[in-house]
Amino acid sequence: MTPTEKAAALAARKGGTPLSALTAYDYPSARLIDACGIDILLVGDSLGMVVLGFPDTTHVTIEHMCHHTAAVARAHPQALVLGDMPIDTYNSPEQAVRHAIMLRDAGAEAVKLEGGFDQVANITAILGAGIPVIGHIGMLPQQIVSEGAYRKKGRTEADAQRLIHDALALCEAGVCAMVLESVVPDVAARITAAVNVPTIGIGCGIGTCDGEVAVLTDLLGSFPWFVPPFAKPEAHLAATISSAVLAYKRRVETQAP
Ligand code: KIV
């Protein structure tokens, strides 16, 4: 399937089997995740925090994203490879198209950017270049410096209305799906009911969206230093890694010549 066909197939899942999405930042995780039949491999800019050791996503560059997108794409996944556009790579339509093309050339089949109504011109320009786009509204991690903390969105009716307006603007612009991050559950459900493309939730509660996305390290329990409150680990790899390393150390230290 071409990227456009894959994006259309995802959009057509509205109201059907919920979409599953996971972040992937490298070749082995992409292969393993793809073999499980996950629908979207998101090369998220969470990369900056859980792989590159930055305090937040605002340090991620297009070069970081292209490097890791290319590694994921080398797994030739069935899943859609979705590349995040880092902060300050979509401050104008021309800049957005240039960077979306860099991600596409690295192997992204669609790109994701943060924002709603304010991003319509950028999204229109990227779609005009033939690159499918997924939106991202609610809590926007790239705004951490101006907002000062990661806070739930949609707590007031005015905020809920703003989010619904943003979601409808994204649909109108032509996104094939949108991520809702840390939106209060009833507002996430209202957005899901209002839009004609799948919503993909993270930290929005159960059964409020048309699908779910998780950060791989949250799922695997492999990044114990920052665990969001909504994370539901299915494994505890940090402890597994530590005990394997300690076993190796013991083995080496007891093998005197
Ligand atoms: O970068 C990322 O991992 C994301 C998810 C939180 C949706 O954008």
CATH code of the domain covering residue 51: 3.20.20.60
Q: How many CA atoms lie within 13 A of 212 on its CB side?
A: 14
Question: Distance of alpha carbon 34 from its chain centroid, rounded?
Answer: 15
Atom of ligand 1 nearest to the CA of 215: 3
168 falls within a domain: yes
87 falls within a domain: yes
Report the first-to-last Cα separation within the chain, whole angstroms.
57
Distances, alpha carbon 180 to alpha carbons 62, 77, 153, in Å: 23, 24, 10
Query: 139 near 191, Cβ under 8 Å?
Result: no
Question: In testing the pocket of ligand 1, which one of 181, 209, 219, 227 has its CB within 8 Å of the most ligand atoms?
Answer: 181
Residue of the CA atom closest to atom 1 of ligand 1:
44
122 falls within a domain: yes
d(CA 153, CA 176): 22
d(CA 104, CA 97): 10
Atom of ligand 1 nearest to the CA of 23: 3
d(CA 133, CA 151): 25
For the Cβ of 34 lying below 6 angstroms from any atom of ligand 1, the answer is: no
Q: Give the pLDDT score at 121.
A: 98
Question: In testing the pocket of ligand 1, which one of 39, 40, 153, 202 has its CB within 8 Å of the most ligand atoms?
Answer: 202
With residue 245 as reference, give the H or E element that holds it. helix 237-253
How many domains does one find in the chain?
1
| pLDDT tens per residue across all 257 residues of the chain | 999 999 999 999 999 999 999 999 999 999 999 999 999 999 999 999 999 999 999 999 999 999 999 999 999 999 999 999 999 999 999 999 999 999 999 999 999 999 999 999 999 999 999 999 999 999 999 998 888 888 999 999 999 999 999 999 999 999 999 999 999 999 999 999 999 999 999 999 999 999 999 999 999 999 999 999 999 999 999 999 999 999 999 999 999 88
Task: Count other C-beta atoms under 10 Å from residue 161's C-beta.
Answer: 13
Query: At which residue do the structure tokens 């995780």 appear?
Result: 29
Atom of ligand 1 nearest to the CA of 112: 8
- pTM value is 0.96
Distance 215 CA to ligand 1 centre (A): 7
230 falls within a domain: no
148 falls within a domain: yes
For the Cβ of 45 lying below 6 angstroms from any atom of ligand 1, the answer is: yes
Domain limits for position 12: 3-214
